[in-house]
Amino acid sequence: MIHPPEYTLVSHVSTLNSVLPPLLKSEVLAIDCETTGLDPLTDSIKLMQIAVPNHPVVLIDLPAIPQSHRALLKKLLGNSALKIAHNAKFDWQFLTQARLQPNGRFFDTQLAYQVLNAGIKTSASLQNVTAQLLHIQLDKTQQMSDWHPPFTQAQLRYAAWDAAILLQLYPILLKKLKQAKLFKIAQLEFRCMPVVAQMELNGMLFDLSQWQILGAKLEAKKTTALQQLKQLHLAGNAQMSLLPELTDTINPNSPQQVLAALQAMGIDLKSTNQKDLIPLAQEYPVIQALLDYRHLSKITTTLTDSLPQHIHPKTGRIHPNYYQLGARSGRFSCRHPPLQTIPRDPAARNCFIAAPGHQILTADYSQIELRIVARLSGDSRMRQAYRQGSDLHRLTAALVTGKPISQVTQEDRRLAKAVNFGLIYGMGAAKLCIYAEIKYGVTMTLAAAKAFRKRFFHAYSGVAEWHETIKRAYIRGTKESRTLAGRRRKWASQPRLAEMLNHPVQGLNADINKLAMAKLFQPLAETNAKLICIVHDEIILECPETMIDQVSHILHNCMVAAAQKFLSPIPVVIDIKASNTW
């Protein structure tokens, strides 16, 4: 049983300066902040809590301490002690905005818990983590209370608990991480945390007027597409003597109604998703019209209206939330808005712009997943291809079509791309047909897909063997997977084979990208360039025009070093572009 923590409330400079010196000697510092709200750009800290072992928790009424008297506090937060926090990104952002940026090493109890439980559905709230690891039920009733002095006893007790409990969680999580051989991965996450926190604060500059022009165009196209769809539907039903009014009663956004309508037109369909519709688009104009409408509807509803709502009134920029462990694979997820799903269409991406005197620097890993497969499988043909700097998609095209590389057409290459990406994750012939059509506009018969599949694994026999190794683990009933960097994904029940084939690749991609980010933190801080977005294998900076060369160099070096650590001897290629827009 853990006793309620003692605490000292500091609401005066003199108390602060007598209370802080012993804390300066501590190797660990547990930190928590109570704020006026959740937005570090507009809200502020009302109370900050600092806990060190064998000492009452220090509760600082921050607004009561003038900026000019925070030197000692600043020194404490900036020292080399290990800073422990739950969801440290939040506290880092608020403290940074208060000119109290924490420094040194970090231990985020939330990230630690998420690293340990990657793949398992579980809440990583402080309340749940504490319940699971310490069997203590934290009272969170004060969390949303009005943090305004004079603080109530209940508020102060709650605040003290939140910081004190971190000191209890830390050794338990540390031990678990080490036992599970996950400490290194956790440290990678901890190193990434300030980078992510700063990236969110930076945000992306967005050209609203250009976006609205684009939106209006898309809206008009959508209307046209809908009219076209209705006309074709009517025409299709004319011979069947259905009532014209029926067309107007059908909701084009309802898969159920659309399916019924298409079936009534005599089209043999089981579902109205892309994969079923695309093969019929040539034959039935109404289906092409539906696909066109769907596409435009998707873009307009999810982006045209929503993106402008995320422009921050204070900065004029878009500041999404990135979740370091938002994906089971170890990848980031991104929300509010999801900048990782902005269409590749330049018309859309050009609306993300650089500030005056700046440029957008985008750097992405070239074919990183295939290179990872080459590394993990050790496939000799892939390794050789990459060592020679040849184009692996062309090579695959040559191998599966039997043509010499010089005669490989663009169409062949597109087909090979589908084959490469599909087959490495265990795709079957049937899905390969669909996938090739949808993703690359390549039509192939089932027999052709079967043949390609066979030739692919014959040509890349190392990949086939690598699949076999994973398949054996799968058959043994293994319920976890590790990346080369040691990241673990667990499954609560039986995984699917494809998930087990995918995780070592997608997960290592995440490891590499995170290592690159961590490496970027210090060198980037010494420039005026800012990290503004991350899209899985792409790093986007906003950089002063005068520093493009210097920053490109830094970016390149960090990304190469991060990837080489795991990919060597497979070479790493980074594509870097500078432009006025994304």
Partner DNA sequence: TCAGAGTGCGCC
Partner DNA sequence: AAACGGCGCACGCTGA
Residue 76 structure tokens: 């404490």
Least Å from the CB of residue 252 to DNA: 9
Give the separation between CA 39 and CA 44, rounded to whole angstroms: 8
Choice between 178 and 335, CB closer to DNA: 335
Rg (CA), the chain: 28
Contact (Cβ atoms closer than 8 angstroms) between residue 104 and residue 82: yes
Give the separation between CA 399 and CA 395, rounded to whole angstroms: 6
Least Å from the CB of residue 483 to DNA: 13
Specify burial of residue 197 (Cβ count, 10 A radius: 0-12, 13-18, 19+). buried
Choice between 208 and 430, CB closer to DNA: 430
The neighbour count for residue 441, using CB atoms within 10 Å, is 12
What b-and-e string marks burial along 287-306, b requiring 16 or more CB atoms within 10 Å of the CB? bbbbbbbbbbbebbeebbee
Contact (Cβ atoms closer than 8 angstroms) between residue 365 and residue 512: yes
- Phi and psi (nearest 5°) for 503? -55, -45
Separation of CA 338 from chain center: 9
- Count how many Cα atoms sit within 13 Å of the Cα of residue 254 in the half-sphere of its side chain: 9
Q: Left, alpha or beta for 242 (phi > 0: left; psi -120 to 50: alpha)?
A: beta
Give the separation between CA 143 and CA 331, rounded to whole angstroms: 30
Give the separation between CA 53 and CA 33, rounded to whole angstroms: 18
Choice between 487 and 536, CB closer to DNA: 536
CA nearest to 372, candidates 485, 225, 236, 461 = 485
Least Å from the CB of residue 538 to DNA: 6
Choice between 97 and 110, CB closer to DNA: 110
Least Å from the CB of residue 340 to DNA: 6
The continuous run of DSSP H or E covering 184 comes out as: helix 183-202
Choice between 26 and 513, CB closer to DNA: 513
Least Å from the CB of residue 234 to DNA: 20
Write the DSSP symbol of residue 61: -
Choice between 147 and 474, CB closer to DNA: 474
Choice between 7 and 113, CB closer to DNA: 113
Choice between 15 and 350, CB closer to DNA: 350
Choice between 8 and 274, CB closer to DNA: 274
Least Å from the CB of residue 151 to DNA: 32
The continuous run of DSSP H or E covering 48 comes out as: strand 45-51
Least Å from the CB of residue 504 to DNA: 11
What residues contact 21, with CB distance under 8 A and at least 6 apart? 72
Q: By the criterion CB under 7 A, which residues form the site for DNA?
A: 251, 253-257, 259, 271-274, 277, 291, 294-295, 298-299, 301-302, 306, 323, 326-329, 331, 333-338, 340-345, 364, 421-422, 425-431, 435, 439, 471, 474, 496-499, 502, 506, 535-538
Choice between 323 and 457, CB closer to DNA: 323
Write the DSSP symbol of residue 311: B
Q: How many helices (H) and strands (E) does the chain have?
A: 23, 17
Residue 81 structure tokens: 């002690």
Beta strands in 81-170 (DSSP E): 82-85, 106-108
Contact (Cβ atoms closer than 8 angstroms) between residue 577 and residue 361: yes
Choice between 55 and 471, CB closer to DNA: 471
Residue 324 structure tokens: 């370091």
The continuous run of DSSP H or E covering 318 comes out as: strand 317-318
Least Å from the CB of residue 388 to DNA: 24
Choice between 47 and 258, CB closer to DNA: 258
Choice between 102 and 504, CB closer to DNA: 504
Least Å from the CB of residue 196 to DNA: 14
Specify burial of residue 62 (Cβ count, 10 A radius: 0-12, 13-18, 19+). buried
Least Å from the CB of residue 336 to DNA: 5
Write the DSSP symbol of residue 119: T
